[in-house]
Amino acid sequence: MNKILIIGAHPDDEILGVGGTILKHVKAGDQVKILILGDGETARETGDIAKRQNQAQTAAMALGVKDLILEKLPDNQFDSMPLLEVVKKIEKVISEFKPEIVYTHHGNDLNIDHQLTFQAVITACRPQPEFCVKKILTFETLSSTEWQNKTSDKIFLPNEYQDISEFIDKKIEILKNYQDELRLYPHPRSAEGIKILAQYRGLEVGFKYAEAFCLIRNIIN
């Protein structure tokens, strides 16, 4: 049994980026915890934080994850506070839960909260002696990762793939909990868009559907 921590900036990123893989970890009997740092709503005129947090609870239940922490950092404004504040929130969860594997955002997403989440995770995961986190993986988030400019220093280059063929339909069903976040195709954050990306990631490595990750660090002992 592994302890897995998912750290996302907004409620829905956990499903978009790593939903199929979470379902796989849960099925394998791994202990999964999800930490969502931001409220995902304050940047909107009609933002409803309570509703979004309810959706996150429902989505976590559907994933089979009981352990969900919802912080309320202001949406699209993580740069309005000291990075240290974000780091401390992550450090607290890591020191209590002691995960071996951490999944988080690609550090060069277009979204500023995603960028700073990555920066805070890497800072919180300084590999000091006896540190619990052995493996850090970043995921891609449709309508942020691929919307960044595609220069070589920014682009998401996956090197680890999870076969999620068994879970793709469930992933999309769970994402529908966040109905306000879904758009119509050809917007990337649509049911079709999610399936197409999973299909593309799958065909890169011979699976029907996959989620792709970038391995940031793997410490083997």
Give contact residues for Zn ion (rule: CB under 5 A).
Answer: 9-10, 13
Q: Which is nearer to Zn ion, 9 or 60 (CB)?
A: 9
User: For residue 36, what are its two tokens?
Assistant: 């969502």
User: Least distance in Å: CB of 114 to Zn ion?
Assistant: 6
User: Least distance in Å: CB of 8 to Zn ion?
Assistant: 7
47 DSSP assignment: -
Q: Which residue is nearest to Zn ion (CB)?
A: 10
| DSSP secondary structure letters along 9-28 | SSTTHHHHHHHHHHHHHHHT
Q: Which is nearer to Zn ion, 121 or 202 (CB)?
A: 121
User: Least distance in Å: CB of 166 to Zn ion?
Assistant: 26
Burial zone of 50 (CB within 10 Å; 0-12 exposed, 13-18 middle, 19+ buried):
exposed
Closest CA to 205 of 158, 169, 170: 158
* C-beta of residue 136 within 8 angstroms of C-beta of residue 217: yes
Q: Which is nearer to Zn ion, 10 or 171 (CB)?
A: 10
Q: Which residue has the tokens 């050809």?
A: 186
User: Least distance in Å: CB of 1 to Zn ion?
Assistant: 29
Q: Which is nearer to Zn ion, 139 or 209 (CB)?
A: 139
User: Least distance in Å: CB of 64 to Zn ion?
Assistant: 22
Secondary element (H or E) of residue 139: strand 135-139
Residues near 84 by beta carbon (within 8 Å), at least 6 away in sequence: none
Q: Which is nearer to Zn ion, 13 or 140 (CB)?
A: 13
